[in-house]
Every structure is written in structure tokens, then in C-alpha cells.
């Protein structure tokens, strides 16, 4: 048995492009996007891919060709969207710390909306828009204080989180925003967290936002869209993930007869399960208390296990007839926290090729040069063809912007 990505054997990809290697399935990307469009068809949503999950230009381009909008959190992500052919008029600019330069760049590009997250940001966007003689389309990100029941590092909708404007302060914030002459207040937004596996927090957040929409309308502040953010989880191990059709039905019921455009910002659920990380076994080390499978990928290639103690399924790409061992699968970085998996049953030996599953989101986008390691190549597979979409970094490229000053 040889494992494949679509019709391409992983072994052939590793031989052609080397390891570590990120491998993405184009059909999986397409199917994930179509799942949102189908489930929410009655509400005709604007689905904005959250670029932070994976900002490769080819992946952005593929979603743009499918009609996607984009959720960005930096000027750099906007530059990527525009370079890949994305439509600025379908871009939502989120993030808690937008600089004046980023705001100016986005205003000149003609983004659809800024999601504002604080009173000082309202004033900053007003000032930049006034200086440019423009009107900025804006929305307020409201923190609904809903527990997303996820890892605390990826929870964003509680009172203690840095994101958004407190629900109890929302009305005053909207009054302040509509009083600004260069702001056009068009929407309301929330994003309560990531890798959500329960529909209840998502629908509760929607209900709280819509109650606020009605309160604002009673004051004459009539909004055009409701942005429910992203956060729908994927299967890494054995999670029960939300049913998109059930989520859509709940949102449709809550919307009722309100004339509002729906915006969604999925990231992980569009790319997470479409990606794999290929890695070669260097050594199998039998320790006194633990066995270790040393591989050529590391925490700089996949930070999630070290950062969140996150689980990624790992398996040999070829069937082995030797007994499996219980081992930690670790990289060569000089950190005890450099692991891809702990206490895994796996049969392998030096030279074997392993695949780390569900590595399409927050793997390549969080990669680094720690220990002076080059960032891995990326490949997009379509049927029986594979296209290199990021060259493997070289040491010369890694050091190109540094100066050895004596």
C-alpha cells in the first residue's frame, strides 16, 4: 500500500521535490469552498478566505478563481491577495493593530470593509480617511463574550481576550463611529475563536449580534451586513465537527426577515485537511525511557504541536511488515519542545517517508528559520500532476537581508 495525494504517490513527490515538503490537494480546496457555498446557498454569503491560515499565492489565486473574498489582518496579506488576482472589493480588513500605512494602503486599494476593534482605531481610520479625502467603509468587531470551548490560545470572543469591542460598550462605540464624517458604518462583525467543534457558541454569538443589529436600527443606525467570522473546526484526530448545513439553517432561522448580507471568514476549514507535510526518517533512537523517531521536519515547519500541544495524525507512506513501536516523533531542532507527535504507535526505519496529516493550515504560514533552517517547498497537486508553488528556501536567501557589521 502506497499513500497518495489525489493520484500522485507521496513517494514520487518526495523524490521530485525533496523533504520536508508541504503537499496540498487542489480538489480538497475546491470541495471545502463548495461546501460553504452549498450549505449557505439560501443566504447567498460572501465567503472570505482567512489568508492567515495559509497565504501561498497559488492557494489565494485558486480561491479567487472560485469567487472567494478574503479576510486579511495585515498590509502584507492584502499585497498577497492583490498579487494573486484577488478582488479588493471583496476584502475584509480585520486585526487589532492596523498601522496608518496599512490603512492608507487598504483605502487606496478599495477594500470592502475595515473591521474596527477599538475606539482608538475608529479615530485612526477616520484621521487617515480625512487626510486622503476618502470615506472608509467600516464595521465594528464586537466581542460577544461567548465561550468557544476551544484552546485558550485560539479563543477570541471572551471578555479577557484582546480582540473586539466589549458587547456592553458596542452601542456607544457605534454612536461614536457614525459621528465621524469620513466613516461609512456598514456592518457588524465577530469572531469568537478557532477550531470550534460545537455549533452552540457560533449560533449564540449570531443571536447576540442580531439583537444588537435591532437595537442599532431602532436608533437609525441601519447596517448592511453581518460578519460571523470563521472558526469552524476540522478533524485532526477524532473530533466531531459542526455540520455546515445545520449551522446555515440556524443562521437562516435567526436572520428571519432581516435584509442583511451574510459574510463568513473560514480559514482552517478551507485548507487544513487539504494539506500534508512529508518528512523523511533520519534515525530511530531507542532510549532508556522513550523511543524517538528523528525526522527531517521540525517545529519550524509545523509549530502547532509545540505551541498548542496540537495533535496531527502521522503515518508511514508505505505499508511496513515490522512491528510498530511506541515513540515520540521529533525533529532535529535543539529544543525539547521540538516534536510533531508524542507516544505514537508507528512502524518505521531510517529512510522511510512519513506523512503528517491536516497540515494545510497554520503550518507553512507559521514557519520560521529557527536554528537557521530553510523553509520547506510547497506543492499543489491536481489529479496526476504536481506544481511547485514555493521553492525551497536557500541559505543565501535566508541571509540575504542581514549585515555582518564589524
What's the pLDDT at 158? 46
Quick one: average pLDDT of 76-90? 98
Give 78-86's long-range contacts (Cβ < 8 A, gap of 24+): 78/102, 78/105, 78/106, 78/109, 78/111, 80/51, 80/55, 81/51, 82/109, 83/57, 84/57, 84/58, 84/60, 85/61, 86/60, 86/61
pLDDT digits (tens, 9 = 90+) for 145-186: 776 554 454 444 445 566 789 999 999 999 999 999 999 999
Residue 189's pLDDT band (cuts 50, 70, 90): very high
Q: CA separation (Å) from 56 to 61, 310, 365?
A: 9, 23, 8
pLDDT at residue number 164: 87
Same domain, 345 and 262: no
Assess whether 405 carries a catalytic annotation: no
Residue 401: inside a domain: no
Please give the full DSSP string across 89-113, using - where no structure is assigned: GGEEE--S---HHHHHHHHHHT-SE
Q: How far is CA 315 from CA 6, 93, 341, 345, in A?
A: 17, 38, 11, 9
In a domain, 404, yes or no: no
In a shared domain, residues 295 and 191: no
Domain check: are 305 and 336 in the same one?
yes
- Burial category of 178 from C-beta neighbours within 10 Å (exposed 0-12, middle 13-18, buried 19 and up): middle
| Model pLDDT, residue 187 | 98
282 in the same domain as 236: no
On whether 258 is known to bind a ligand per the annotation, the reply is no
pLDDT of residue 151: 41
Mean pLDDT of the chain: 94
Closest CA to 204 of 256, 266, 250, 241: 250
* Peptide linkage before 20 cis (omega within 30 of 0): yes
**Weakest-pLDDT range from 21-25, 203-207, 277-281, 341-345:** 203-207
Instruction: State the catalytic residue, choosing from 113, 206, 334, 348.
Output: 334
Question: Does the annotation list 266 as a binding residue?
Answer: yes
CA dihedral angle for residue 106, residue 108, residue 111, residue 113, rounded to 10 degrees: 70
The C-alpha cell at 3 is 499513500
Please identify, among 252, 271, 290, the residue that sits at the C-terminal boundary of a domain. Answer: 271
Residue where a domain terminates, one of 236, 253, 271: 271
The pLDDT value recorded for residue 148 is 53
* 305 annotated to bind ligand: no
> Is 268 annotated for ligand binding?
yes
Is 17 part of any domain?
A: yes
- CATH number for the domain including 302? 2.40.37.10
Tell whether 344 is in a known binding site.
no
Residues 166, 310, single domain; the answer is no
Within a domain: 215: yes
175 is in an annotated binding site: no
Supply the Cα-derived Rg of the chain in whole angstroms. 23
Would you say residue 266 lies in a domain? yes
Spatial distance between the Cα atoms of 161 and 175, rounded to a whole number of angstroms: 23
Give residue 157's pLDDT. 42
Angle between helices 57-65 and 75-83 (to 10 degrees): 60
157 is in an annotated binding site: no
Q: Would you say residue 405 lies in a domain?
A: no
Asked if residue 398 belongs to a domain, the reply is no
Structural domain containing residue 364 = 4-22+272-393
Q: Could you tell me if 137 and 218 lie in one domain?
A: yes
262 and 335 fall within a common domain: no
Q: What is the per-residue pLDDT across 240-298, written as a single tens digit (0 to 9) for each?
A: 888 999 999 999 999 999 999 999 999 999 999 999 999 999 999 998 889 999 999 99
Longest dimension (CA), the chain: 72
Q: What is the pLDDT of residues 336-359, one digit of tens each?
A: 999 999 999 999 999 999 999 999
Same domain for 91 and 135, yes or no, is yes
Among 253, 271, 289, where does a domain finish? 271
**Cα–Cα distance between 223 and 42 in angstroms, integer?**
20
Angle at 324 between CA 318 and CA 325, to 5 degrees: 130
CATH classification of the domain holding 190? 3.20.20.10
Q: Is 335 annotated as a binding residue?
A: yes
Same domain? 94 vs 53 = yes
Q: To which residue does cell 449557505 refer?
A: 40
On whether 308 is known to bind a ligand per the annotation, the reply is yes
Say yes or no: 265 and 281 in one domain: no
How many domains is the chain partitioned into structurally? 2
Which of 38, 49, 21 lies closest to 229 in space, CA to CA?
49
Is residue 351 located within the same domain as residue 311?
yes
Looking at the structure, tell me whether residues 137 and 210 fall in a common domain. yes
Residue 304 placed within a domain: yes
Amino acid at each position: 500500500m502506497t499513500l497518495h495525494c489525489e493520484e500522485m504517490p507521496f513517494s514520487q513527490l518526495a523524490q521530485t521535490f525533496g523533504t520536508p515538503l508541504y503537499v496540498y490537494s487542489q480538489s480538497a480546496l475546491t470541495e471545502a469552498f463548495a461546501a460553504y457555498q452549498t450549505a449557505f446557498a439560501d443566504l447567498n454569503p460572501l465567503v472570505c478566505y482567512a489568508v492567515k491560515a495559509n497565504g501561498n499565492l497559488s492557494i489565494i489565486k485558486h480561491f479567487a478563481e472560485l469567487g472567494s473574498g478574503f479576510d486579511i489582518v495585515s498590509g502584507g496579506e492584502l499585497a498577497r491577495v492583490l498579487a494573486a488576482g484577488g478582488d479588493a472589493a471583496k476584502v475584509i480588513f480585520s486585526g487589532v493593530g492596523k498601522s496608518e500605512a496599512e490603512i492608507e494602503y487598504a483605502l487606496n486599494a478599495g477594500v470592502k470593509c475595515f473591521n474596527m476593534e477599538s475606539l482608538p482605531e475608529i479615530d485612526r481610520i477616520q484621521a487617515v480617511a480625512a487626510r486622503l479625502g476618502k470615506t472608509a467603509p467600516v464595521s465594528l468587531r464586537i466581542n460577544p463574550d461567548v465561550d468557544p470551548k476551544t484552546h485558550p490560545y485560539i479563543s477570541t470572543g471572551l471578555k479577557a481576550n484582546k480582540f473586539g469591542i466589549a458587547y456592553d460598550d458596542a452601542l456607544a462605540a457605534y454612536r461614536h463611529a457614525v459621528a465621524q464624517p469620513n466613516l461609512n458604518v456598514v456592518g457588524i462583525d465577530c469572531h469568537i475563536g478557532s477550531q470550534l467543534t460545537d455549533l452552540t457558541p457560533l449560533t449564540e454569538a449570531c443571536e447576540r449580534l442580531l439583537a444588537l443589529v435591532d437595537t442599532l436600527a431602532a436608533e437609525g443606525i441601519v447596517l448592511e451586513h453581518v460578519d460571523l467570522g470563521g472558526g469552524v473546526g476540522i478533524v485532526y484526530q477524532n473530533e466531531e465537527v459542526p455540520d455546515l448545513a445545520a449551522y446555515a439553517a440556524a443562521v437562516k432561522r435567526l436572520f428571519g426577515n432581516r435584509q442583511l448580507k451574510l459574510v463568513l471568514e473560514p480559514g482552517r476549514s478551507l485548507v487544513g485537511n487539504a494539506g500534508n507535510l512529508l518528512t523523511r526518517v533520519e534515525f530511530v533512537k531507542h532510549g532508556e525511557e522513550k523511543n524517538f523517531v528523528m525526522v527531517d521536519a521540525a517545529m519550524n515547519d509545523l509549530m502547532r504541536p509545540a505551541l498548542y500541544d496540537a495533535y496531527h495524525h502521522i503515518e508511514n507512506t508505505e505499508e511496513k511488515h515490522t512491528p510498530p513501536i511506541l515513540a515520540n516523533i521529533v525533529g532535529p531542532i535543539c529544543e525539547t519542545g521540538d516534536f510533531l507527535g508524542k507516544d505514537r504507535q508507528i512502524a518505521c526505519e531510517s529512510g522511510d517517508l512519513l506523512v503528517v496529516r491536516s497540515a494545510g493550515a497554520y503550518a507553512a504560514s507559521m514557519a520560521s528559520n529557527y536554528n537557521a533552517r530553510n523553509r520547506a517547498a510547497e506543492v499543489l497537486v491536481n489529479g496526476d500532476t504536481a506544481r511547485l508553488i514555493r521553492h525551497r528556501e536557500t541559505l543565501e536567501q535566508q541571509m540575504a537581508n542581514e549585515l555582518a557589521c564589524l
